Amino acid sequence: MDNNTCEVPVDATRELNPESLIKIKVLFFARAREIMGLADMTLEVAPQSTAGDCLMTLLTKFPKLEEICNSMVLALNEEYAPKSSTLKNGDELAIIPPISGG
Amino acid sequence: MAAGKGEIAADGDSDTLIEIVNQSSSSNLEILDLARYVSFVRDPAAGAIATFEGTTRDTFEGRRVIELRYEAYVPMAARRLSEACAAARSRWPLRRLAVAHRLGVVPVGDASVFIAASAVHRADAMDACRFIIDEIKASVPIWKKEVYADGEIWKENREFFERRPAMAAEQDKAPRCCGCGSKERVGIR
């Protein structure tokens, strides 16, 4: 998946059977937290969804996140992770805007 | 996920001290206890202690900074700091290490980050300090907002953008440790 595109694929909003969804905790920090107006949320996605799928779902629901989607990275369960990472129930996915520690 | 007010997220082992120090309240700022970190790394076998102190500046591109506000993804930041320390140990023969980062409001002129390293020889301790601050700038999930009289901005480290392609790389899905493959065990204090 191209890391430098924020285009939302048409299947990101496909209808899903609620029975089969897995729950992902999504964390927002810094500018991402301000855009969302919250620090975390639970997102229900289809089994075998990737971190990138999850990001696309977020961008569909919250288009203002596009502001940071070309500069951020993802962390899955406290480790930096590519968009192709497959999610499992209970995973913690963090939206990491450009860091500025030090 | 941030540590609660006044909490210190501590990590490391008997030779490595890692602290993420949160602000306890607006009227009671938690300053970094630099002397304690230097004491921690003091070692009879070491011939040198090197330190790096990052302090908050009062101006940015001509604008007067009123204060800086830090936040972190605390558990991941502690993990990344541990990995940076392990990577430093894999590169240089070090005795003891202490790394601390402050969160919340940090007034201009205060220390926001402090690193102390001891080694038999000074070059190793100095190189390790530089390596660890560079790792913090590139990969430890901590954010800083600069507040000016007429606005505010989230800062962005140049080092983050240099590291970003590797962080998001599709090939290597193993836990990343600056590429060093260190396996140092991390204990929770």
Residues B53-109 pLDDT 10s: 999 999 988 899 988 999 999 999 999 999 999 999 999 999 999 999 999 999 999
Q: How far is A14 from chain B (nearest CA, A)?
A: 25
Residues A29-73 pLDDT 10s: 999 999 999 999 999 999 999 999 999 999 999 999 999 999 999
- Asked if the C-beta of B69 comes within 8 angstroms of chain A's C-beta atoms, the answer is no
Q: Is B183 annotated as a binding residue?
A: no
- Asked if the C-beta of B161 comes within 8 angstroms of chain A's C-beta atoms, the answer is yes
- Is the pTM higher than 0.90? no
Within a domain: B106: yes
- The phi-psi region of residue B79 (left if phi > 0; otherwise alpha if psi is between -120 and 50; otherwise beta) is alpha
- Asked if the C-beta of A38 comes within 8 angstroms of chain B's C-beta atoms, the answer is no
Instruction: Specify the number of domains making up chain B.
Output: 1
Helices (H) and strands (E) in chain B, counts: 4, 10
Residues A24-38 pLDDT 10s: 999 999 999 999 999
What ipTM did this prediction achieve?
A: 0.86
CB contact under 8 A, A101 and B141: yes
Q: How far is B169 from chain A (nearest CA, A)?
A: 6
Within a domain: B118: yes
Residue B88 sits in a domain whose CATH number is 3.90.1170.40
Within a domain: B180: no
Under CATH, which number does the domain A22-96 receive?
A: 3.10.20.30
Domain boundaries, position B62: 16-161
- Residue B73 and residue B76: Cα distance in Å, rounded? 6
Strand A92-96, strand A73-76: pairing: antiparallel
Within a domain: B109: yes
- Asked if the C-beta of B186 comes within 8 angstroms of chain A's C-beta atoms, the answer is no
Q: Is B19 annotated as a binding residue?
A: no
Tell which wins on pLDDT, B91 or A18.
B91
Q: Is pLDDT at B171 greater than 70 in this prediction?
A: no
